[in-house]
Amino acid sequence: MQTEFAVVGGGLVGMAIAHGLLRLGRQVTVFDEGDAAFRASRGNFGLVWVQGKGADMPDYARWTRRSAALWPVFAQTLRDRTGIGVELSQTGGIDIFLSEDEAERGVARLSKLRKALGGDYPFEYLGHNALKQLVPEIGSTVTGATLCPEDGHVNPLYLLRALYAAVLDSGGQVINGEPVRKIEYTGAGFVVTNGETWPAQKVVLCAGLGNAHLAPMVGLSAPVKPVRGQVMICERVVPFLNYPSVQIRQVGEGAVQIGDSKEDVGLDDGTTSEVLAGIARRAVRTYPLLRDVRMVRSWGSLRVMSPDGYPVYDRSRSCPGASLVTCHSGVTLAAIHSMVLAGWIAGDAHPELVEGFSAERFEFQPAV
Ligand X SMILES: Cc1cc2nc3c(=O)[nH]c(=O)nc-3n(C[C@H](O)[C@H](O)[C@H](O)COP(=O)(O)OP(=O)(O)OC[C@H]3O[C@@H](n4cnc5c(N)ncnc54)[C@H](O)[C@@H]3O)c2cc1C
Where along the sequence are the contacts to ligand X (CB under 6 A)?
8-14, 31-34, 37-41, 43-47, 49, 179-180, 206-208, 210, 214, 229, 231, 259-260, 301-304, 326-332
* Of residues 139 and 210, the one with the C-beta less far from ligand X: 210
- Nearest approach in angstroms of CB 339 to ligand X is 16
* Of residues 309 and 320, the one with the C-beta less far from ligand X: 309
- Nearest approach in angstroms of CB 129 to ligand X is 28
* Of residues 303 and 315, the one with the C-beta less far from ligand X: 303
Question: What's the Cα-to-Cα distance from 152 to each of 147, 248, 259, 365, rounded to whole Å?
Answer: 11, 12, 16, 38
* Of residues 8 and 346, the one with the C-beta less far from ligand X: 8
* Of residues 108 and 267, the one with the C-beta less far from ligand X: 267
* Of residues 262 and 291, the one with the C-beta less far from ligand X: 262
Rounded CA-CA distance 83/357 in Å is: 34
- Nearest approach in angstroms of CB 368 to ligand X is 25
Residue type (1 letter), 276: L
* Of residues 128 and 212, the one with the C-beta less far from ligand X: 212
- Nearest approach in angstroms of CB 64 to ligand X is 9
Q: Are 334 and 19 in contact (CB under 8 A)?
A: no
* Of residues 83 and 164, the one with the C-beta less far from ligand X: 164
